Amino acid sequence: MEETLSIIKPDAMERNLEDKIKNIFIKNNFEIIKEKKVKLEKKDAELFYKVHETKPFYNDLCNYLSSGPVLVMVLKKDNAIAENRKIMGTTNPKDADPGTIRKEFGISIDKNSIHGSDSKENAEKEISFFFKD
Ligand code: IDP
Ligand code: MG
């Protein structure tokens, strides 16, 4: 079994999509083993997205992620990291496959409703970023 970090981003929280998105994970046999609703400070978002600090969209991205509450979850399943990326869809909702979370709910490349870890190393880092135990 593998663990990955998922975040329901502010645009989806704002539209009350929390339960709909959680049900997609449950339907796809993910176990939600930890979850918490948090409102990040900008400096938290900057740390979380540090890998993107040189990108032109970094500042907007950090403002956005800290603009409202988010739901942070640890998802567990065989091959959870890749399986989660598959059901999330591509970064830009416009290009995402039908039935994916981003296709269904994403508004734009920045307001794309969901975050998911992209590798084993990042999953571990991101899980301990939010759940220190
Ligand atoms: P991912 O979320 O699919 O892993 P990343 O490349 O890691 O995509 O980018 C992190 C987040 O930064 C994206 O989910 C999206 O919200 C935002 N982002 C990525 N590329 C762009 C862009 O070109 N313009 C604006 N925001 C972007
Ligand atoms: Mg990423």
CATH topology classification for 2-130: Alpha-Beta Plaits (3.30.70)
Please say whether the beta carbons of 119 and 113 come within 8 A. Answer: no
Span 102-125, pLDDT tens digits: 999 999 999 999 999 999 999 999
User: Is the CB of residue 21 less than 8 Å from the CB of residue 114?
Assistant: yes
Q: Which atom of ligand 1 is nearest to the CA of 49?
A: 10
pLDDT by residue (tens digit) across 13-51? 999 999 999 999 999 999 999 999 999 999 999 999 999
Is the pTM higher than 0.95? Answer: yes
Task: Give burial (CB, 10 Å; 0-12/13-18/19+) of 76.
Answer: middle
Q: Report the distance separating Cα 86 and Cα 116, nearest Å.
A: 10
15 alpha carbon – ligand 2 mean position (Å):
22
pLDDT tens for residues 60-100? 999 999 999 999 999 999 999 999 999 999 999 999 999 99
11: enclosing H helix or E strand: helix 10-14
Q: Which ligand neighbours the alpha carbon of 109 most closely?
A: 1
